[in-house]
Amino acid sequence: MEAINIIESIAEEVIKGLLEKPKQISSKFFYDKKGSEIFRQIMRMPEYYPTDSEAEIFEIHKASLTDFFCKSCEHVDLVELGAGDGAKTRILIKYMLDNNINFRYIPVDISADSNRKLTEDLNKRFNYLRIIEKTGDYFDMIEELSEEYKNRKIIMFLGSNLGNYNREQSIYFLNRLSGMMSKDDKLLIGLDLKKDPEVILKAYNDPHGHTRNFNLNLLERFNRELGADFDIANFKHVPVYDPLGGAAKSYIVSMKKQEVHFKTFDKHIKFEKWEPIYTEMSQKYDMDMISDFAESTGFTIEENFYDSRHYFVNSLWKKI
């Protein structure tokens, strides 16, 4: 019964979004099993620079990051929101363990399965790492952590995940985060920087077809799970980038006038020729934008850490 309710809830949200003007689908639906596998392929592409750039930052600056985290404290809790496979964080964890830093690693994720796999992997790699996994909503888990543990918290929000939010949503998210942190807690936030538009577009429209497959898998997922009859050949993946505002956006565009039927729920969705479905935004930042976000939400910037190409920044903010 619970599985049926979940499917009905997904269908309700998807159909509602497709009936809006303009049509839209939440990016959270990208990550079914197939979508997650395609995204792993994307992260391995040479054109997809964010993963390698952030890993390089951790490798180059791990000593400085550790000093900022816990130079003047006896114990620190390293809290990662949406840790995924923890590949970049492993660089930092290894360095901190090798240098006898007294810390605990606390991955926070909405997916219990993701947390379990990460914990198993880290336990195999690091015998003495203390892990406290937290499964649930970010803010619920941070509130719980604040009540349970009074240690300094270093909250990490990596991978430019903030870029999926517009400015209003970002300010709301950061204000809530700030409101749950104690004075002297810190936030390490990964942010993708503005750069050559061609470099950005190649990351979202690669020659291998992975980003195309990732976007169109949304429609295939709805066919599989919601009884829809999207003909994938009638839709195309269209990424765009606005170098002025810094927003990279992805769309699925209908190449003909057509109608899609969600048979299980007896809902019909009409498409005009060249009508787009908005699926995702990935904001790119400049340093003025980053300073404004920090100052507007109760933080001060302690240090900015860059990769060698200055494609990406891990910005360390202190709660004031």
Q: List, for residues 230-260, the tens digit of each pLDDT value.
A: 999 999 999 999 999 999 999 999 999 999 9
Partners of 143 in the beta sheet? none
Residue 79 has pLDDT above 90, yes or no: yes
Which token pair is 247? Answer: 């927003």
Give me the torsion for CA of 229, 231, 234, 235, rounded to 10°: 70
- Cβ density class 24-56: b for 16+ within 10 Å, e for less: bbebebbbeeebeebbebbbebebbbbbbbbbb
Distance CA 47, CA 43 (A): 9
3-state SS, the chain, equals CHHHHHHHHHHHHHHHHHHCCCEECCHHHHCCHHHHHHHHHHHCCCCCHHHHHHHHHHHHHHHHHHHHHHCCCCCEEEEEECCCCCHHHHHHHHHHHHCCCCEEEEEEECCHHHHHHHHHHHHHHCCCCCECCEECCHHHHHHHHHHHCCCEEEEEECCCHHHHCCHHHHHHHHHHHHHHCCCCCEEEEEEEECCCHHHHHHHHCCCCCHHHHHHHHHHHHHHHHHCCCCCHHHEEEEEEEECCCCEEEEEEEECCCEEEEEHHHCEEEEECCCCEEEEEEEECECHHHHHHHHHHCCEEEEEEEECCCCCEEEEEEEEC
Mean pLDDT for all residues in the chain: 92
Amino acid in the structure at residue 24: Q
Q: Could you tell me how far CA 186 lies from the centroid of its own chain? A: 19
Domains of the chain with bracketed CATH: 2-30+198-283 (no CATH), 49-193+285-319 (3.40.50.150)
Q: List, for residues 13-47, the tens digit of each pLDDT value.
A: 999 999 999 999 998 899 888 998 898 899 899 99
| pLDDT confidence bin for 2, thresholds 50/70/90 | low
| pLDDT confidence bin for 56, thresholds 50/70/90 | very high
Q: List, for residues 88-121, the tens digit of each pLDDT value.
A: 999 999 999 999 999 999 999 877 788 888 999 9
Report the percentage of the chain scoring pLDDT > 90: 75
Q: Give the model's pLDDT for residue 135.
A: 85
Q: Give the model's pLDDT for residue 4.
A: 56
70 or 47, greater pLDDT: 47
Q: List, for residues 272-286, the tens digit of each pLDDT value.
A: 999 999 999 999 999
Angle between helix axes 87-98 and 112-125 (nearest 10 degrees) is 40
Residue 3 has pLDDT above 80, yes or no: no
Q: Give the model's pLDDT for residue 1.
A: 40
Phi and psi torsions of 256, nearest 5°: -155, 165
Distance CA 234, CA 271 (A): 11
Q: Give the model's pLDDT for residue 7.
A: 85
- What distances in angstroms separate CA 223 from CA 36, 55, 61, one per listed residue? 17, 36, 45
| pLDDT confidence bin for 221, thresholds 50/70/90 | very high
Q: Give the model's pLDDT for residue 284.
A: 98
Q: List, for residues 287-300, the tens digit of each pLDDT value.
A: 999 999 999 999 99
- Mean per-residue pLDDT for 210-233? 96
Q: Which of 26, 59, 300 is nearest to 164 (CA)?
A: 26
Q: List, for residues 123-153, the tens digit of each pLDDT value.
A: 999 988 999 998 888 888 888 877 777 788 9
